[in-house]
Structure 1
Amino acid sequence: MSKKVVFKDLGAQSYKEVWDYQEQLLKESVNLKSPSNTGETPLPVNYFLFVEHSPVYTLGKSGKPEHVLINEHEREEKGIEYFHINRGGDITFHGPGQLVGYPILDLDQFRTDLGWYLRSLEEVIIMTIAEYGLKGDRSPGETGVWLDPDLKGKERKICAMGIKSSRWVTMHGFALNVNTDLSYFNHIIPCGIQNKQVTSIEKELGHPVSMEEVKEKLKRNFEKVFEVELV
């Protein structure tokens, strides 16, 4: 029988609100796994969250602040928030038209291998965009999903990823550009990678797509790859 994962679509929310919520879910799971919990304790609940954030730049723990190319005043003028956060990776953008997914999974219930986990997340995205006729690929040494990663000058990233893990419980996740306003990426060096483009499903197809449709496809592919049932 497949494992159950609690699915929640949080709609449109600010970044900090959802970051705090993830931290709360992570803490609950980690506490259940604490050595001080003797005897029979229930397994941590696994979650998969969807959200569309209001415009925000987030810088990973090892990221470089100079990869943000506009100052605080300019960010405020454009209504873009900014947070230095505790995931891996460098700078990225979240905003309307982008589907952000946050799996809070206890990998002890899956496989205690972060490489496997990230490749599995990438596979979910690759399968989802394939349903729109787009061939997603991995780029060696660069987490996320790309189009044409081997064609110099044509490489374009469609999905960024960055995670944190504590006692094998994950948080943060992926950001898939669906109908995203890509001009926001002009003010940063996305993921700290110079001279590579960012794209979206809308840009590649030449027309917007239904966010609800993308969500349904992604949920189905998440269930297949991780062998779970979303409830």
Structure 2
Amino acid sequence: MTSVPGLPCYDLGLAPYEPVQALQGALRRECAAGRHPGALLLLEHEAVITLGVRASMAEVRRPLRPPEDGAAGPSLPVIRSERGGLGTLHAPGQLVAYPVMPIPKRDLRTYVWQLEEVARLLLAQYRVHAIRITGRPGLYVDGHKIASLGLRCERWVASHGTSLNISPDLHLFAQIVSCGDPDLHHTSLAVLTGHAPAMPEVKLVYHRVFAQVFRRELGPLLTTTVTGLLETLA
């Protein structure tokens, strides 16, 4: 490990998207000003479609038909995100990792590779071989996407990050043109292995592998809330 101070790490449990986005913005500004070291945030989001800065509502699909009981289909909320990229979907059962930190050596390309590598090595712990595809950020297994990536960078401080499908309801992805590709299909660790590891276990694996890939000392993974963490920045 290097002598860089340990990066604080927080488990935010299941959290709605917009408050977490606000938290990232506050952390990013404090970090850019040199008043905070940043943080690694690990969590699950409530089911939501998010549209990056290059996305449009044309990427949102609604249920093609109502359920058999005639009730309206469960359309998900749609939220504008400050991250780059197009549309994506978050849901319980998906591990979301948001490192809010200075980009090492101001090398954005390597930073993206490192984030993908953390997810790839995590999946390898469960004997899943995921690959990169040139020109398509994220990770894939047999052409199906299992990990997505979207970032925001200001003054060389990154926020947003990676989402990794552990055991989400994959049917929800029918409501969106993911990453601008109408033919893209998704998979998950649970589908590929027949087993869904507990999310607390997966978060600890991510925490360990992140430290290895970035060669950075991390603080312990502390359980807290978005509100509680925001109060420490006030």
TM-score range, shorter-chain basis? 0.7 to 0.9
- Following the alignment from structure 2 to structure 1, what is the Cα–Cα distance between the partners of residues 147 and 102? 23
CA offset at residue 204 of structure 1?
0.7
Aligned residues: 210
- Following the alignment from structure 2 to structure 1, what is the Cα–Cα distance between the partners of residues 75 and 216? 38
| 2:139 paired with 1:137 | no
- How many percent identity over aligned positions? 34
- Following the alignment from structure 1 to structure 2, what is the Cα–Cα distance between the partners of residues 53 and 208? 17
SS at match of 2:128: coil
CA offset at residue 27 of structure 1?
1.2
Unaligned ranges ≥5, structure 1 = 33-41, 149-154
2:32–2:157 Cα contact (<8 Å) kept: yes
1:57–1:94 Cα contact (<8 Å) kept: yes
The equivalent residue for 1:229 is 217
How do 1:1-231 and structure 2 match up within 5 A? 1-2=1-2, 3=4, 4-32=6-34, 44-70=36-62, 78=74, 80-107=76-103, 110-148=104-142, 155-231=143-219
TM-score normalised over the length of structure 2: 0.85
- Following the alignment from structure 1 to structure 2, what is the Cα–Cα distance between the partners of residues 30 and 200? 35
Show structure 1 runs of 4+ deviating over 4 A.
none
Give the RMSD, CA atoms, in angstroms.
Answer: 1.7
SS at match of 1:198: coil
- Following the alignment from structure 1 to structure 2, what is the Cα–Cα distance between the partners of residues 193 and 230? 36
Q: What is the identity, as a one-letter code, of the residue corresponding to 2:206?
A: L
2:94–2:163 Cα contact (<8 Å) kept: yes
1:49–1:101 Cα contact (<8 Å) kept: yes
Q: What is the identity, as a one-letter code, of the residue corresponding to 1:168?
A: W
2:14–2:46 Cα contact (<8 Å) kept: yes
Unaligned ranges ≥5, structure 2 = 67-71, 220-234
The equivalent residue for 1:39 is none
The equivalent residue for 2:223 is none
CA offset at residue 79 of structure 1?
6.1
- Following the alignment from structure 1 to structure 2, what is the Cα–Cα distance between the partners of residues 193 and 111? 32
